[in-house]
Structure 1
């Protein structure tokens, strides 16, 4: 199995330096990961360092809280694409979902999807803050808004991915969107259990050690 092709090689911490981003890109090329995932301010740097490789540039929008205004998120997405991002992982407005302003949540996802066109949009629902019912609703809204993926977590909440939540999300999207697990996936066993559960992408900063473990 080419586990490397499931991996979005990720660094999103506030303290990430230019040198860290360059190292991330070098590792992604060496291990042939699907993409690197970086904050939007580093998209052009990542793009430059991945030139000539197959590794895509993924970025995050409205990260990690999701509570920014819709126009700000749309602008961030458009700007990132202009600078070379090929995939966008956006955080939903969690407070609006919990306030049951479901149309607003859907309209925001739709606006970002329209802003990036045919590029891949992954919708981070931040499962750790949601009830089981809200996880289902958020997943259904993402599908309605034409998102390509529903994603578990930012990795900055009080918990990350779980197989139980992936099962809920899988059932909710009913084959109409793909699944990305992220948050706390640190070893090969965990990665394989998520792939077995049906995820098509894994966001992790432990990609190198996971592949090394596989090649043991």
Structure 2
């Protein structure tokens, strides 16, 4: 069959490309999970809880991972039996419980550290400019998905109340983080920050407007 002269829509081809990357990530997730004696969902729960000292509700875990609440509940119960997570009453709502990572859970995550990360290796071959462009493109796509309600708010700079985009004229380090009181550049924008503090919707909108325009 001849290659069609008119290709499919560019959005479709981008989706195809992302699906290829996703297949690599899923394969590596299986290997990491097996190294820890877990399945991918259980391993993903541990990764989500890492750095969240306050823990997370079962509902939050399910929403973040894109699984049903019964699936999250079953997976958390299995992790609890292995002493990899622990539950305690929520400090915000006593009617709910928070799930927290234990020291054994942190150790289990480290078991997969030796798995070859081929996507990171591939990204390492890109130029500095291409890496920065790819990072900002990913941030933009995640922001669009958040706005559509497809994924929860991520712990990114652009949704954090500490982020001050383009606070400086310095093109190398134009942004400011009020949490650490320091300037930083585009290539240092974070998608997952443990010190993230979600800004209110109006501040998020204003921050994004400045960041995206810049």
Judge same fold: TM > 0.5, yes or no: no
By relative contact order (CA 8 Å, sep 6+), the higher-ranking structure is 1
Normalized per residue, the structure richer in strand is 1
Larger radius of gyration: 2
Superposition TM-score, scaled by structure 2 size:
0.24
